[in-house]
Homo-oligomer: A and B are copies of this chain.
Amino acid sequence: MGGSEIRRTMPLFPIGIVMQLADLSARQIRYYEEHELISPARTEGNRRLFSLNDIDRLLEIKDLLEQGINMAGIKKILAVSQKESVERDPVAKKPEMTDDELRTLLKKEMLSPGKISRSSLRAGDLSRFFR
């Protein structure tokens, strides 16, 4: 788990917000969880709390569903794409990075990106909103 992992996996959003961000119904989101495509955290009182990773994943699921892929297929695909993203993550791949390398990386992360309209959210977009 790299440095950015911490933020991206922080359970922050209630389902109501996620519904808006991903444009999905509560029923859909819970259904995907039922099929183990996502595993949002829970509060002490059992309310779901979603991370940015969860939301990105939901956008991916939505995308794949629209391509006619079913739960089983999506599950397989997501399992692969997750493995890939871990291998591709520069921080995760080089945990023994020198201080200067890490410093350079962090500076790059601090750069401000441009604006994006929320209504046109697609899989992967969220990672550009939040880092």
Q: Indicate if A5 sits at the interface (CB-CB under 8 A).
A: yes
- Chain B residues with Cβ under 8 A from A114's Cβ? 3, 6, 9-10
Q: Indicate if A73 sits at the interface (CB-CB under 8 A).
A: no
The listed residue (B12, B21, B106, B116) touching A106 by CB distance below 8 A is: B106
- Chain B residues with Cβ under 8 A from A16's Cβ? 43
Is the Cβ of B130 less than 8 Å from the Cβ of A3? no
Instruction: Mark the stretch among A24-32, A59-67, A79-87, A95-103 that contacts chain B.
Output: A95-103
Residues of A in contact with B (beta carbons under 8 Å apart): 1-7, 9-10, 12-14, 16-17, 21, 43, 49, 90-91, 95, 99, 102-103, 106-107, 109-118, 128-131
